[in-house]
Structure 1
Amino acid sequence: MSASRRVAGACGRAALAGSLLWGTVAQAAFELNMTPGATAVSRDVYHLHMTIFWICVAIGVVVFGVMFWSIYHHRKSRGAVPAQFHESTAIEIAWTVVPVMILVGMAIPATRTLVAMEDTSNPDLTVKITGYQWKWRYEYLQDGVSFYSNLKTSAQQMHGEAPKGEHYLLEVDKPLVLPVGKKVRLLTTAADVIHSWWVPALAIKKDAIPGFINEVWTRIDTPGTYRGQCAELCGKDHGFMPIVIVALNDADYAKWLADTKASLAAEADSANRTWDRAELMKKGAEVYQTCAACHQANGEGLPGVFPPLVKGKPFSGSEEMLKPLRERGLLAADNTIAAVSVEQQAAVILKGIPGTAMAAFGPQLGDVEVAALLTYIRNSWGNDLGDVVQPAAIKALR
């Protein structure tokens, strides 16, 4: 091959690589911008953002254009002589009036949008949102429906032991379902630490603060699925607290609401029947996903942070951490995990351990879920205690 052909080939490959790189960069730059979203407010926010952006671009072009033009045409090599003047009233008026006019022009649409965002009057539906470490609780105040929404991504995916799905860390077991075309008032609060309920497609980012109730509203125009996350650093598993909203038309929403009410009623009734071991183990494995973030999928815990759930396993940590475990009989004298009774372990799940990271899950889990969780823990990872805990027993312990 001649040298000219080699050079031509190299240039061609470089041009192709450059075009691909440019396409990638251009695509990434495009995706960095805000999106119009799925509500009138989100579109107003988007248009306001773009309006302010182009105003800033125009200001930049004018200011830097005049500056570079002045530098070029008044350079020393052309013999430019600087003007001699002091306290020009005209210039001072100009650089005061023009910015004020620009700011007023920006403030009018911004104020209009902010007022619209804060108008929560006359809602068609009100939903109370409570943040927990690390899940959300949704309460439909007018319909008597309430449920918790947990991360659905498996611990195996988090630890790289299984392929990550399309919506890794952005999928939940029970999404918030809302009707399209209805004004929905959202009340946000928290049960432990500060969280923040953030859904970009709805232009909503509202803090959830313990002891306070904040409010915001939305009206979704198009059926679909919209995803968000907790936008406040609420703890070590802050990234495992997604938000999923499913918007349905009126008929589908009415069906979902009726099915959910029936499901919740059936779940409440199921606490009165006797469950077999296989049923409890299967459901317990599902419920344990909420525990696996701290105690690990294999029940081994995190040394010095979260104790293992495997009897006989050693656990080391500060005396401040170990003392509450000893007081409840969870830790043996040699600092290994003790084989405690069902009642002791149930008390920990229901009431938590004050002063530690173990929260009270009694308000969050039903009798069936606690019974299934206990059955799963006491018969997994070599515990083999043989217990089959029934929901009726948990109901009595409450």
Structure 2
Amino acid sequence: MCFKAKRRLTLALSSMSALLPLTAATAWAQDSKVNAINMPVGVTEVSASIYDLHMIIFWICVIIGVLVFGVMFYSIFAHRKSKGVVPATFHESTKVEIAWTVVPFLILLAMAVPATKTLIEIYDFDDAEMDILVTGFQWKWKYEYLQEDGENLKFFSNLRTPQDEIYNEEVKGEHYLLEVDEPLVVPVDTKVRLLVTANDVIHSWWVPDLAVKKDAIPGFINETWFKSTQVGIFRGQCAELCGKEHGFMPIVVHVVSKADYVDWLATKQSEAAEIKELMAQSFTLDELAERGKGVYQRSCLACHGANGEGGVGKAIAGSLLVTGAINGHLDSVVNGVPGTAMQAFGGQLNDVDMAAVITYQRNAFGNNMGDMVQPLDIFNFKKGQ
């Protein structure tokens, strides 16, 4: 079997294996014990209400089952033919008909009260203290913190599991396929409203410990919310089959203290300001290539291979597109290639990272073009479209 075919087969098998944990032990809180039998209690008031409702219904079903099967087995034993029991000849009983109509109705009514209360709680989006726009992409998540001043903080969250673990060249880590480069960070005891949508196909944002599972549908915005009562790291996955790399789309939520959140927000805003400053600068070929290598490993390696050999996507090494005119290369990366797996990265990467990764691709894997792209070139290219 050739190298490319072997890697594709490995990737496919890894994708299949990544789907299996969705039904059992994935996406629990870090260091928490996974209960393979029951659902998690979670760390929000809603998740606790859902768990309590689940247990109430469960025990009602257990009691009904014990009573029904108890009467049935007793009747079979006590009124068996070998004891000479003669069966009754009546066809119906008004009292029995009334009983098995009224009793189930009362049981359903008793179940409906806590269920309705929990549903009302789940769909109570009022008085949210934070709004975050969550957008699903194949195969990553984009988070945008909506601020009143319009200075929204936004970033992408990508799978961070090393490719060597995915291809079974290294031992799989504790959080295999459940680790990201940029987690969603929120403060504890804060009501966070999520506006969930998608850019391409249907995804689903699912974190069991937060009691959140909401479909992300292109062209629609769905609402959900959570308010964690505990600090910790909580993991989830896309719960909608969104393509062959569906299993490589994890979710990680860091719930931190309010003071730590203020520090984190200040750091992210500082990084955003730094990027704006870098936009106006010019870099050397070595500086761009060094930064571009990191961008390539985060955003391109899964499709184009660690050595530019290709796989899901086309090869970078010796590619006519990469070694051809710069504008064609820019158009492919910025706008994507319709009808293929090549996404439009114009809205996913900032202009500095875009310039760096294009420069890296043109000068790595034996391409050695010797040219480079500056952030200003990316800005002007986008502006001229």
Identify the match of residue 227 of structure 2 among 219, 222, 244.
219
Q: CA deviation at 1:70?
A: 1.2
Counterpart Cα distance in 2 of 1:247 and 1:347: 39
Question: Does structure 1 retain, via aligned residues, the 8 Å contact 2:323–2:362?
Answer: no
Question: Does structure 2 retain, via aligned residues, the 8 Å contact 1:176–1:246?
Answer: yes
Counterpart Cα distance in 1 of 2:73 and 2:167: 54
Q: CA deviation at 1:30?
A: 4.1
Please say if 1:228 is aligned against 2:236: yes
Write out aligned runs for 1:190-201 (5 A).
190-201=198-209
% identical aligned pairs: 54
Secondary structure at the counterpart of residue 123 of structure 1: coil
Please say if 1:53 is aligned against 2:68: no
| Larger CA deviation: 227-236 vs 154-163 | 154-163
TM-score, scaled to structure 2: 0.86
Secondary structure at the counterpart of residue 300 of structure 1: coil
Secondary structure at the counterpart of residue 363 of structure 2: coil
Q: CA deviation at 1:170?
A: 0.8
Please say if 1:107 is aligned against 2:112: yes
Which residue in 1 is equivalent to 2:324? 340
Letter in 2 for 1:167: H
Write out aligned runs for 1:267-282 (5 A).
267-282=275-290
Which residue in 2 is equivalent to 1:335? none
Which residue in 1 is equivalent to 2:315? 308
Identify the match of residue 167 of structure 1 among 175, 188, 194.
175
Write out aligned runs for 1:379-394 (5 A).
379-394=363-378
Secondary structure at the counterpart of residue 378 of structure 1: helix
5+ unaligned residues in a row in structure 2: which ranges?
1-32
Counterpart Cα distance in 1 of 2:245 and 2:193: 28
Please say if 1:290 is aligned against 2:274: no
Structure 1 residues 84-136: Cα deviation after superposition (integer angstroms, max 9, x where no partner): 21121111111111111111111110110001000101111111111111111
Secondary structure at the counterpart of residue 223 of structure 2: strand
Write out aligned runs for 1:232-247 (5 A).
232-247=240-255
Which residue in 2 is equivalent to 1:350? 334
Secondary structure at the counterpart of residue 255 of structure 2: strand
Question: Does structure 1 retain, via aligned residues, the 8 Å contact 2:142–2:154?
Answer: yes
Counterpart Cα distance in 2 of 1:383 and 1:70: 83
Number of matched pairs? 346
Q: CA deviation at 1:183?
A: 1.0
Please say if 1:119 is aligned against 2:124: yes
Please say if 1:42 is aligned against 2:47: yes
- Which structure has more relative contact order (CA 8 Å, sep 6+)? It is 2
Identify the match of residue 261 of structure 2 among 253, 266, 270.
253
Q: CA deviation at 1:295?
A: 2.0
Secondary structure at the counterpart of residue 46 of structure 2: helix
| Larger CA deviation: 354-363 vs 242-251 | 354-363
Q: CA deviation at 1:29?
A: 9.7
Question: Does structure 2 retain, via aligned residues, the 8 Å contact 1:126–1:141?
Answer: yes
Secondary structure at the counterpart of residue 214 of structure 2: strand
Secondary structure at the counterpart of residue 156 of structure 1: helix
Structure 1 residues 242-296: Cα deviation after superposition (integer angstroms, max 9, x where no partner): 1111111111111111111111110121122233344333332222232222222
Counterpart Cα distance in 1 of 2:35 and 2:154: 39
The structure with the largest alpha-carbon Rg is 1
Structure 1 residues 221-260: Cα deviation after superposition (integer angstroms, max 9, x where no partner): 1111111111111111111111111111111111111111
Q: CA deviation at 1:215?
A: 0.3
